[in-house]
A and B are shown apart, each in its own frame.
Chain A
Amino acid sequence: MSARLLPLLAGGVAALLASVAFAVTIGPADISTADVWAAVSAHLGLGESTLPPLRDGIVWNLRMPRTLLAAVCGAGLALCGAVMQSLLRNPLADPFVLGVSSGASTGAVAVVVLGVGGGAVSLSAGAFTGALLSFGLVLALSHSLGGSTDRVVLSGVAAMQLFSALTSFTVLTSADAETTRGVLFWLLGSLTGAGWGDVLLCAAVLAAVLAVCLGHARTLDAFAFGEEAAAALGVRVARTRLVLLCAVALLTATLVSCAGAIGFVGLVLPHATRALTGPGHVRLLPVTALAGAIFLVWVDTAARTVIDPQEVPVGVVTSLIGVPAFVAVLHRGRRKT
C-alpha cells in the first residue's frame, strides 16, 4: 500500500512545482521560464539576477507570492475538506461547514463597511476574528446539544445562516456601490494582492495542521463505521474530534482571512482524490493536499487571464471549471464490483 504512496507523492510534488513554474510565466508581461528561474535563484541567494528590476519585481513580488498562495490555499482547503468529511461522516461537509467563512465575511464587512477598529484593524484581522467567533459559537452550540456529529453540522448551518444574514444586512444598509463591489469580490474568494507575508503565514499554519492531521490519519480511518465503532477501536472520540475541529478551523480561518472564501475546492477535491487513492487517510490526506494545490494554481491562472484584463474572482472559476471535472471524475471513479 504505502509502496505506491511514495511515487504518487513524488509525482504530485513534481507536478506542483512544474505548475507553479509555468503559472508564473503567464500574464500580460512576457516572462519566460528562464526568467522565473533567474529571479528565484537570485532571491534565494543562488546567483546574480540577470533580470531588469521591473521584470524581477513582477516575478518575485507579484506573480510568485500569488501563485504560491494559490497552492497553499488549495492544499489547505482540500485537506480540511477531507478531514471534515471523514470526521463528520458527511460527504457534503467542507471546510466552511463550521461557519468559519461566514463569520470571516461578517468580520471583514464590519471592518471595511462599518469601520470597526477605526482603520487600525486590517480586513484580514477582522475576517480572522469573525471566523474564530463563529467557530466558537458553533463549538459551544454543538456542545450544548450533545456534541454528536450531526449536531456539529446543524450548528454550523445555523451559524452560517446567522452570519450571512448579518453580512447581507450590513452591506445592504451601510455600503456604497464601490465598497459593495470590493467586499463582494473578496467574499467570492480572491488571491489578488497576495504578498509574501500571506504566503508564509498560511504555509506555516498549513504545515502545522497537516502534521496534526497526518498524526491522526489512522484515527480518522476508525471513524468509517461511526463514533461508537471508533471508540471501540480505542479512539478517544471527544478529544480527537475537538483537536481536529480546532485544527481545521484554525487553518480555514487563516486561509479565508488571506484569500476569502474560495468554495468548491474543499468539497470536491477530497472526493476526486478518494477515487484515486481509496479511503485510507494515510494516503488520502497528503495526496488530496497536493491535488488541491495543483488545482488552485491552475484555476487562479485561468481566473486572472481568461477575460483579460478583467479579473474573475477565483472562487467563481473554481466552480465553473471544477463542476464538469468533478462529474467526469465521479463517472470514472464508479467502482466496478
Chain B
Amino acid sequence: MNDSTAGRPATAESPATAEAAPGLRADHVGRRTHDRLILDGVTLTLRPGETVGLLGPNGSGKSTLLRLLAGLLAPSAGVVTLDGRTLPQVGRRATARRIATVEQHAHTQTELTVREVVALGRIPHRRAWSAASAVDTRAVDAALERTGLTDRAGQSWHTLSGGERQRAQIARALAQEPRELLLDEPTNHLDIQHQLDLLDLVVGLPIATLIALHDLNLAAMYCDRLLVLREGHVVAEGTPADVLTPSLIKRVYGVRADVTHDPGHPVIRFLRRPPKP
C-alpha cells in the first residue's frame, strides 16, 4: 500500500540514527501545570512516511503530546525539533506549512462551505493582500478529491455528518500540504464503517502520521509503530505485535485481554471480569 509498511521493521529497530534523521522529534519533553505533571520525559521520533499510533487511557497525556509536537503548547521541559531545529526557531508559519493537526472536535459558528473550510489550510502558504493562486486552488481541489468531498464542496459545513466533518478537517489539513500530520482521536463518535474509511484514508497518505487512538484493534491494524502513555510516561514503544501483550494491556488499562496473532497484526479480545465469589 505504501513504502512505510515495507520499511516497518527497519525503522522500529534503529533509534540510534534518530538524532540526524529528518522528521519531527520530541526529546524528553514534559509539561506541567501549577499542580500537576501532565507529561514527563517523553521521547518520540516521527520519521518520514510512517504511521505511529498513540495509545493510553483518558488523561494519559496523548492530547498534550500532540499539542507539544504541533507547537501549540510550549514544553516545560525538553525540546521539540523539526529536522533538527526547535519549533520556535522554525517559526509559527513555517511550522504550519510542515505540520498539520486535526483536533477531536472542530466547531465553528461561522457559515462556511466545505470548500471554504478546506481553503483555510492554505493560510500558512499565503501572504497578506495576495489573492488565491492556481497552486492554492489545485491544493484545495486535490484535498477535496482525496477525501471524497468534491461533490460536497459547495455545501454548508454545518449540514455535514460527524464523519464528513472529520473528513473535511483532514482535507483542510491536506491542503496545508504537510509532511507531518497529527490526529487526535479522529475516529471518536464515528460508526465502524466510517472509522475504517477514515483510517484507510489516513494511512494511505504518503506523509508521516501520528494518530491518537482509543481502539487497540484499530491501532494494531493500521499503525507501523505504537507509543503507549500512562499518567504522562511512556510505558511501551514498538511494533503492535511487540507492544500489545496481555500484560501491558492489564498494566495500562487495568483489563484482562487475550491477544492472538493474525497474519500481519495482533487481534485483541477483551475478557469479562471473573464473577465475584
A337 touches B159 (CB 8 A): yes
A50 within 8 A of B: no
Residue of B nearest to A2 (CB): B131
**For A216, what are the chain B residues with a Cβ–Cβ distance below 8 Å?**
128
* Given known A232-B101, A235-B92, contact A215–B129 (CB-CB < 8 A): yes
Interfacial residues of chain A within 224-255, with CB under 8 A of chain B in the complex: 224-226, 228-229, 231-236
* Given known A224-B112, A232-B72, A236-B92, contact A219–B123 (CB-CB < 8 A): yes
Which of these, A219, A229, A231, A279, contacts B111 with CB under 8 Å?
A279
**For B131, what are the chain A residues with a Cβ–Cβ distance below 8 Å?**
2
Identify which of B78-86, B102-110, B196-204 touches chain A. Answer: B102-110
B116 within 8 A of A: yes
A214 within 8 A of B: yes
Q: How far is the CB of B116 from chain A (nearest CB, A)?
A: 7
A280 within 8 A of B: yes
Interface size band for B: 35 or more
Best-buried of B92, B110, B121 by chain A (most CB within 10 Å): B110
Q: How far is the CA of A229 from the CA of B113 in the complex (A)?
A: 17
Q: How far is the CA of A254 from the CA of B101 in the complex (A)?
A: 41
Interfacial residues of chain B within 91-132, with CB under 8 A of chain A in the complex: 92-97, 100-101, 103, 106-113, 116-117, 120-121, 123-124, 126, 128-129, 131-132
Which of these, B72, B109, B120, B159, contacts A89 with CB under 8 Å?
B109
Q: How far is the CB of B235 from chain A (nearest CB, A)?
A: 28
Residue of B nearest to A282 (CB): B131
**For B107, what are the chain A residues with a Cβ–Cβ distance below 8 Å?**
225-226
A91 touches B109 (CB 8 A): yes
**For A31, what are the chain B residues with a Cβ–Cβ distance below 8 Å?**
none
A218 within 8 A of B: yes
**Could you list 9 A-B pairs, sorted by A, with CB under 8 Å?**
A91-B109, A221-B120, A228-B103, A233-B96, A233-B120, A234-B93, A235-B123, A279-B116, A335-B156
The 4 closest A-B CB pairs, nearest first, are A234-B96, A234-B124, A234-B93, A224-B110
